[in-house]
Amino acid sequence: MASLLYRLGRFSARKAWSVVVAWLLLLALAAGAFAVFGGTLTSAVTIPGTATQEVSDQLAEKFPAASGGLGTVVFTTTDDSGFTEAQKAEIGKLLEKTTALESVKGATNPFVVQGQLAEQSQQITSGRQQIADGNAQLDAGQAQVDAAEAQLDAGQQQLDAARAQAEAAGQLEAAGPQLDAQQAEIDAGTAQIVETQAKLDQTRIELEKQSATLEQGSQLLELSSEIRQVSSDGTTAIAIIQFDKSLHTVSAEAKEAVVNEMNDAGIAGVDVEVTNDLAATIPDILGPGEIAGVILAAIVLFVMLGTLIGAGLPLINALIGVGVGVLASLALSGTVDMLSVTPVLAVMLGLAVGIDYSLFILNRHRKQLRNGVPLQESIGLANGTSGNAVVFAGATVLIALLALNLTGIPFLGLMGTVGAVAVFVAILVAITLTPALLRLVGPRILTKKARAKIGHADPVRVPNKPMNTMRAIVTVVAGVIVLLIVAMPALSMRLGLPAGSSEPVSSSAYKSYKLIEDKFGAGVNGPLVVVADMSEKVSGEDLVAEQVRIGTALKSEHNVVAVAPIGVSDDDMLLAFQVVPEGGPTSESTEQLVHDLRGLNLEGVDSLGVAGNASGNIDVSEKLAGALPLYLLVVVGLSLIILILVFRSILVPLTATIGFILSLFASFGVITAVFQWGWLAPVFGVHDPGPILSFLPILVVGVLFGLAMDYQLFLVSGMRESYAHGSPSRLAVQRGVHAGRAVVTAAALIMAAIFGGFIFSNSVMIQSIGLGLAFGVIFDAFVVRMLLIPAAMHLLGDAAWWLPKWLDRILPNVDVEGASLERSHPGAAHVAAQAEPELELEPAAEASGK
């Protein structure tokens, strides 16, 4: 590989302008592809096969009326007074107009719905009164019947007595006709009473049925009494926009059309805000914070290299690489669903590794030039040695990113793939465009002072004694304790997805979230849809009774504010309910409620399913959390294998991996403290602390692993080289650190600056990723690689390089630093012998005008 890169470097130097033009053409082609094929990014994080998705599919199949995504629009008066009739009418017209838009199935008028609820309540009150009046009339009728029956009974007794007297007197035959006539009258009266009683009984039964139905309706109304469309003070109203398909499949254009309609409403005295399910903020790919990060990286480069040309060359390389990689990836956004954070991650990685990889080659070239190696030969040698290390270091990042596909989570795999494309392009730029640009700038890559001394570089002093053993012990103990303390908040890390409260404070999504929370309750921002899969068909008179029974059971669950029946499926086997939780969509109580509802056992119900945006986010977060241990295991195992191959040691990979885990969890601790606990929240612009972005841990593991291996390579390879050349093991550790510390310091500062710039993004997703990676790089480079690893290697001594003989025989020889190339090229060997450790530190005055 080193020889191939050497030839590639010399070729790129000879054909410098051709290489530059080729990359500019690639950049133009990538931009053209994006312009033609690029689509719209999405902010919806979804995973197929979750419990929520299964319920949504079930609803779409059996209950079309209740399927489809829901978007929320909030109307509020500007003077905090109740809506006027004119305002209500205009809002109604606006919502009716919205139903004509693409993918919109319907829109609820909040004032009509609230009026219907009030009317239903009044109907129940009136119905109860009517039933009470009816019962009173029945009681009066019953009293009349009872009185008539008593009279008939008395008449019958008198008649029976008269008949007995007549019979005793022997006059029964003579009195018989008269007595029979009287008996006929009594019988007729009895028959009339029986008929009247039957009518009274039937009426009473009907009234009891009506009363039961009325009370069931009352119970349903009571269960949903806390669900309002218009706030109790009459100042705020919620309208629901229903789409004809699930929300994440509704096109961005259709959502944007709804948002534009609302923004253009122009209703006097009324503000219209849309929630984040309609208008989640798409983060800027490159904003002011990111530009500030690039500027800071440029300052670091200028301080380290001492020339404007030297500082500018890695930046140019990185920007071209990012342009090609990110634009080419974005060209796929028209055919695949691409999360809005995906290209931002690619920009982060592309800038960071693009600058660093170019810097590694440039730094080696500068050393060789100062020692008198001819220009083109120096370019080829730098590409073959440092370029070889760049390819290997980049390969570790690529492997870690592509391994995200092993999680089985499509959007995460796509993020890893797009990030890998950006890193791959950065590698190609480093080993082709960097040599070309170095050829074009020629000796001007050095300062005037350095150019004056070409071939007569001052000898470099290297350490001639190892570090103090007690210092090494203190360093290891103190470093581990510090990292563990910083990592402690990670023990309480909760994973989730951003809600409206995470949107920028000035955004409509944030304003609507807060309005709903203040006027209607936090749970209205994340209502749940509960579906009861019945054992038998439910219809007719049984339907309302079952809705009351199941609704009452749901309402009795902890943290449930209200339950409202949605309806029954076409096959009468599914009953759907809206459940409003007490907490917001990201609260622990809502998460627990989802689990409690799914675990609820009800007679006659085969299963209870839960859907809705809040439920979907919970499922996604839990699936991501479940994938983290496996992915971490894969990455750690990969780390051990790669480092055993490179360093031909068992303990070096173990210490490197333990250090990676320490820096990883320390970065998790910082993320949790800032974004979940709210520590230093104003400093980082965190206005509403909440759960940590659910896919952040896996993402940080993948990215930080690759970068940690970079630093491990550039530091420990110098130790191994010194040890292999006969230095005592502990002295070799000190010399390796001395040789690699400057380049690792510069690389880490640049990466921290690039990642740190994203902390001030307008998206909490980007903020948390930027913070995690920035602190992860700082912990890993400056605490683990620069302090802990050298101290641990010192304490291990010769044992650090122990490798079983049988393993030594079967392991291939991985020539990461291009040692074979150095041996075959005297110029490279001369530079290696010089062991130049430092990047030049030139005063700004000396660097001006280079």
Residue 84 pLDDT? 94
* Residue in 683, 348, 696 with CA at minimum distance from that of residue 498: 696
Asked if residues 249 and 129 have their Cβ atoms less than 8 Å apart, the reply is: no
Q: What is the DSSP string of 565-606?
A: EEEE-TTS-EEEEEEEESS-TTSHHHHHHHHHHHT---TTEE
Asked if residues 754 and 348 have their Cβ atoms less than 8 Å apart, the reply is: yes
pLDDT at 652 over 60: yes
The SS3 call for residue 762 is coil
Q: Work out whether the CA dihedral 146, 150, 155, 161 comes out positive or negative.
A: positive
Two structure tokens written together for 763: 């998206």
Residue 614 pLDDT? 84
Which residues lie across from 749 on neighbouring strands? Answer: none
Two structure tokens written together for 92: 């109604």
Q: Name the residue type at position 16.
A: A
Q: What is the Cα gyration radius of the chain?
A: 40
pLDDT, averaged across the chain:
86
pLDDT at 832 over 80: no
pLDDT tens-digit profile of 617-641? Answer: 888 888 888 888 888 888 888 778 8
Residue 51 pLDDT? 87
Q: Exposed/middle/buried for 244, CB within 10 Å: 0-12, 13-18, 19+?
A: middle
Residue 821 pLDDT? 66
Q: What is the DSSP secondary structure assignment for residue 237, as one 8-state letter? A: E
What beta strand segments (E) does 61-114 contain?
70-77, 104-107
* Residue in 610, 771, 641, 631 with CA at minimum distance from that of residue 693: 771
Q: How confident is the model at residue 825 (pLDDT cuts 50, 70, 90)?
A: low
Q: What is the DSSP string of 531-560?
A: EEEESS---THHHHHHHHHHHHHHHTSTTE
Phi, psi of 107 (to 5 degrees): -145, 130
Cβ-based neighbours of 793, under 8 Å, separated by 6 or more:
652, 655, 716, 719, 729, 733, 800
Q: In degrees, to the nearest 5, what angle opens at C-alpha 738 toward C-alphas 850 and 661? A: 110
Residue 789 pLDDT? 93
Two structure tokens written together for 267: 């209703």
Q: What is the DSSP string of 426-480?
A: HHHIIIIIHHHHHHHHGGGGS-HHHHHTTT-PPPPP---SPPPHHHHHHHHHHHH
Phi, psi of 578 (to 5 degrees): -100, 130
Average pLDDT over residues 447-468: 75
Residue 833 pLDDT? 45
State how far the Cα of 58 lies from the Cα of 449, in Å rounded to an integer.
75
Percentage of residues in the chain with pLDDT exceeding 70?
93
Q: How confident is the model at residue 839 (pLDDT cuts 50, 70, 90)?
A: very low
pLDDT at 483 over 90: yes
Q: What is the DSSP secondary structure assignment for residue 507, as one 8-state letter? A: S
Asked if residues 316 and 19 have their Cβ atoms less than 8 Å apart, the reply is: no
* Residue in 604, 564, 594, 600 with CA at minimum distance from that of residue 66: 564
State how far the Cα of 238 lies from the Cα of 516, in Å rounded to an integer.
8
From first CA to last CA, the distance across the chain in angstroms is 35
pLDDT tens-digit profile of 667-697? Answer: 999 999 999 999 998 888 888 898 998 888 9
Two structure tokens written together for 745: 């310091």
pLDDT tens-digit profile of 306-355? Answer: 888 888 899 999 999 999 999 998 888 878 878 888 888 888 888 888 88
CB-CB neighbours of 567 under 10 Å:
14
Residue 460 pLDDT? 60
The CA–CA distances, whole Å, from 112 to 92, 95, 344, 632 equal 9, 12, 44, 54
Query: Which string of b and e fits 655-665 if b means at least 16 CB within 10 Å?
Result: bbbbbbbbbbb
pLDDT tens-digit profile of 746-758? Answer: 888 888 988 888 8
Asked if residues 130 and 139 have their Cβ atoms less than 8 Å apart, the reply is: no
The greatest distance separating any two alpha carbons of the chain, rounded to the nearest whole angstrom, comes to: 164
Asked if residues 219 and 7 have their Cβ atoms less than 8 Å apart, the reply is: no
pLDDT tens-digit profile of 415-430? Answer: 889 999 999 999 999 9
* Residue in 718, 1, 825 with CA at minimum distance from that of residue 378: 825
pLDDT tens-digit profile of 38-56? Answer: 877 776 677 777 888 888 8
pLDDT tens-digit profile of 541-586? Answer: 788 889 999 999 999 999 999 999 988 888 889 999 999 999 999 8
The CA–CA distances, whole Å, from 444 to 382, 435, 452, 626, 721 equal 17, 14, 11, 53, 31
Query: Count H helices, E strands: the chain?
Result: 30, 10
Edge-to-edge strand order for the sheet containing 574-581?
560-568, 574-581, 528-534, 605-611
pLDDT at 776 over 80: yes
CB-CB neighbours of 190 under 10 Å:
16
pLDDT at 22 over 60: yes
